[in-house]
Copies of this chain bind each other. A is one copy, B any other.
């Protein structure tokens, strides 16, 4: 019996979400290298493996170690290389095909002096998100490619981008035009270097665009992550249906306030994270609310939502006609705004 906040997963939806993305990648003749930061779970990794996936993306050396121990042997760490973890990188690279990201000449040159074993290197390209990566016309790209190819231990793999700016785009066309722009930029770079490096690839990662596009042709590799669970954020972007959301957090009801049309749940920022969706008028949404069923959860209760979170408390607002549904000792399902953060919080089995 559930008595504390707990992640619950709908295996059918999860499997369907994977199948759909895998079929799209295959149709597009792109390598499917899903991002495992979303679930950080060996069990879910096994579901992918059973479907034939053998290449993965992670976002830290620790996460690479975690999955390598479970037999994953082709891993890209889609995060600017952390030069302080060269020892761990060397250890990993002795056993698996490890790919790293560099976004500066400085990091490339330190890296070139470091590895004892063969390591693949992607140059990270900023196609508009402006987090990490070099702009496509940055002359440093060429300097990095030369540094990497001159090194005996580094193998130049290609160009990689994460188009995270889809999360602030509005509407399908805006999302798809971000993807198209990234495709153009990566392929222009690829065209420049393919003669010298016939095997180089253009690698693209981002769940909203990969979900909304009919296919992902024009990329050699795709690395979406969040699609496996989906969440209320993806639903708001328009990249999944409510029925695609494969995770919920079971939260005990501890108080019911009929006069305020609010219930208090045991489920706070340490379980659901502080991620929210905001509207202009100050409205904040930290999750939808669903009744738990035998096999999972039902459709979200119309008009009910998590309006506020403190460390362990969540406040759920609900229309008056539903307040009578709840009493202390019940358990409700919360569909999270950001499933990656929730999975990280509720699966503390990874040594961060």
Tell me if A264 and B80 are in contact (CB < 8 A): yes
Tell me if A254 and B3 are in contact (CB < 8 A): no
Pick the interface stretch among A12-20, A115-123, A266-274, A291-299: A266-274
Residues of chain B within 8 A of A61, CB atoms compared:
4
Tell me if B37 and A266 are in contact (CB < 8 A): no
Tell me if B85 and A4 are in contact (CB < 8 A): yes
Q: How large is the interface on A (under 10, 10 to 19, 20 to 34, 35 or more residues)?
A: 35 or more
Question: A3's closest neighbor in chain B, by CB?
Answer: B84
Residues of chain B within 8 A of A252, CB atoms compared:
82-84
Residues of chain B within 8 A of A312, CB atoms compared:
37, 59-60, 79
Copies of this protein in the complex = 2
A252 and B83 alpha carbons, distance in the complex (Å): 9
Q: Which chain A residues in 154-207 approach chain B with CB under 8 Å?
A: 164
Known: A4-B61, A130-B260, A345-B345. 18 other contacts (CB 8 A): A2-B84, A3-B82, A4-B62, A4-B85, A80-B254, A80-B264, A80-B328, A81-B254, A81-B328, A106-B256, A107-B255, A131-B313, A132-B313, A269-B273, A269-B341, A274-B341, A311-B341, A345-B352
A327 and B110 alpha carbons, distance in the complex (Å): 11
| A310 at the B interface (CB under 8 A) | yes
Question: A107's closest neighbor in chain B, by CB?
Answer: B328
How far in angstroms is the closest Cβ of chain B from A6? 9
Residues of chain B within 8 A of A345, CB atoms compared:
345, 352
